[in-house]
Structure 1
Amino acid sequence: MYLSTTDYVQHKHAPGTPEANAFYAMMDNYFKRYHEAGTIVAITADHGMNAKTDAIGRPNILFLQDLLDARYGAQHTRVLLPITAPYVVHHGALGSYATVYLRDAVPQRDAIDFLTGMAGVEAVLTRTQASQRFELPEDRIGDPVVIAERLTVMGTSADKHDLSGLTVPLRSHGGVSEQKVPLIFNRKLASLDNPGRLRNFDIIDIALNQLA
């Protein structure tokens, strides 16, 4: 049986806060009941989460489309954010990964240098580099790909993001700083066929085939 929850609580409440503690206490009670019933339980996450604010809790946001439009003019670039969703009350459709499509008039090298020089940007990769590093289909991403550092998120244009629902300091994901996630099992691992780096999607094989 595969069960999935939303990440609403993690977006709204940092670890160790009363709200987060209450949520995990509830989940732990369910896990305990499964364990006591003899079930193999495997727990992981699809991504990590970080605060995306300055020292006093204000969001650190790079509105990439606005910045690119100011440099190259409107309609010469297009910024896409994979975190974009209709349910924005917990993250404002802001994340730490963005892909940019450049029209012919925009030199790729100049765009990469411009984006790399922005405060809050951790890395700017070409399409090929991003495809190899993140195992993405090269024909389905833009060029370049922008990764924000741990405390920064990216948006398209300021008027495209409704931040009225952000009643607590912004928390989001999408960068390399949110890649590490836990793999938790309630039974002993018998053996691992591949003892190298494990990733979250390995959890199904381990739970089904490698737990004692």
Structure 2
Amino acid sequence: MSEPSPQIPSVHLHGRTYNLPQRPTVVICIDGFDPEYLEAGIEDGILPNMSSFLSSGFHTTAECAMPSLTNPNNLSIITGAPTSIHGISGNYYLDKETGQEHMVVDDSTMHGTTILAKLAESGIRIAAITAKDKLRRIINHGLSPSKSSICFSAQCANECTLSEHGIQDVESWLGQTTPPQYSGALSLFVLDAGLKLLQEDRADFFYLTLSDYIQHKYAPHSQEANTFMSAIDARLGEFVNLGAVVAVTGDHGMSDKSSPTDGTPNVLFLEDFLHSRWPAARARVICPISDPFVKHHGALGGFVRVYFLSEICARQVEEILDACRGLPEVEVALSGDDAAVLFEMPRDREGDLVVVSRAEFVVGSRVDEHDLSLLGGVET
């Protein structure tokens, strides 16, 4: 009778079990990786490695966490849980106790821990590289150079220190200068850094998360999008050739929300609308997509939270909900309680109302809060 195989060591988080990697494992999050980019790239014959993943590995299209933004979904990827569990439900929020508005810039509003931190506690060397530094300061939770972890961003690669990031002199080490914030090069820098760390055997598990600047500007099948996706695909092949297990995912989709004639955004300025009809309610619309990368989206997105800064009765709340539901730009309008349950979001951080736009529209707060000139040059 043969002896049973030794059990693979594992970590546990939020009711799930994750085996420790037995060989280098690379998880790549392509920001804004709408399925159309994959379909278009395969159709155009520019993604041979991803095509091989589809034929020989596992592939599915999943629903993202809500709201469908970078911060919430990256945390859901590395926690295996919805925002109701990890607590990061946007890039920007209103503190209902103080009435102050805040940008999420670190892990201070996060609940619990991450799979990366659990692996690091078990002795697995982690390399977590982000395109955007705003995200690096969140996913760095539980990682430190003392645990043989490396965590830095391409955006601030020229500022890395051993004490904070576990690596220094990144530009000279990689042979590349820190890329512009608004560029596809920001994402390719992440992948190139990950490849070099793998070649030097400096990590066991890699989480590499990119920027969606190209996808915000260029549609599937466009030359610019194809060039970018082809460059990513080539690097995926290099990871495979180095013996890594490679997984590729996206954090959210991408859809055209501009006029086909002149490229201007199809915007509903919801706070202006609410003030025009119910000024006494003092409605405040918070766009959780707001972040420092204003040229990506101008703080316009498909999901907003509405807060009433004055006391209003339940009947008036229903009246406002009904009016929002009747707007041609709106897909769904819900109370904060109903939205938190439906979308698995933390109720204590939810608005009084949640409004989600139709696919071809975006929602903003007031006209004077969004500089649409920054969105020039959009390709449709």
Indicate the residue corresponding to 2:293 in structure 1.
87
The 3 A distance-change label for structure 1 pair 71 and 46 is same
1:167-182 correspondence runs (5 A) = 167-169=376-378
The 3 A distance-change label for structure 1 pair 12 and 37 is same
Q: Give runs of ≥4 in structure 1 deviating > 4 Å.
A: none
The offset of 1:75, in angstroms, is: 6.4
CA distance in 1, matches of 2:312, 2:258: 35
Contact 1:54 1:151 in 2 (8 A): no
1:48-59 correspondence runs (5 A) = 48-56=253-261, 57-59=263-265
User: Structure 2 counterpart of 1:98, which letter?
Assistant: V
Indicate the residue corresponding to 1:60 in structure 2.
266
CA distance in 1, matches of 2:379, 2:283: 27
1:184-203 correspondence runs (5 A) = none
CA distance in 1, matches of 2:295, 2:258: 16
The offset of 1:54, in angstroms, is: 3.0
Indicate the residue corresponding to 1:152 in structure 2.
361
Indicate the residue corresponding to 1:8 in structure 2.
213
The offset of 1:168, in angstroms, is: 2.9
The offset of 1:61, in angstroms, is: 0.1
1:73 is aligned to 2:279: yes
What's the TM-score, normalizing by structure 1?
0.76
Among 314, 332, 341, the alignment partner of 1:123 is: 332
Contact 1:65 1:155 in 2 (8 A): yes
Contact 1:85 1:93 in 2 (8 A): yes
Contact 1:124 1:144 in 2 (8 A): yes
The offset of 1:66, in angstroms, is: 0.6
The offset of 1:150, in angstroms, is: 0.3
| Percent of matched pairs sharing the same residue | 41
Indicate the residue corresponding to 2:23 in structure 1.
none
The offset of 1:170, in angstroms, is: 7.8
User: Structure 1 counterpart of 2:336, which letter?
Assistant: R
Contact 1:53 1:59 in 2 (8 A): yes
Q: Which runs of 5+ in 1 are unaligned?
A: 172-212
Structure of higher RCO (CA pairs closer than 8 Å, 6+ residues apart) = 1
What's the TM-score, normalizing by structure 2?
0.43
The offset of 1:74, in angstroms, is: 6.6
Among 22, 42, 47, the alignment partner of 2:247 is: 42
Contact 2:281 2:312 in 1 (8 A): no
CA distance in 1, matches of 2:236, 2:325: 44
Q: Which moved more, 1:39-48 or 1:101-110?
A: 101-110
Indicate the residue corresponding to 1:19 in structure 2.
224
1:138 is aligned to 2:343: no
User: Structure 1 counterpart of 2:229, which letter?
Assistant: Y
* 1:130-178 C-alpha deviation (Å, 9 max, x unpaired): 111111111111121001000000001111101112123488xxxxxxx
Contact 1:59 1:169 in 2 (8 A): no
CA distance in 1, matches of 2:281, 2:322: 20
RMSD: 1.6
User: Structure 2 counterpart of 1:48, which letter?
Assistant: G
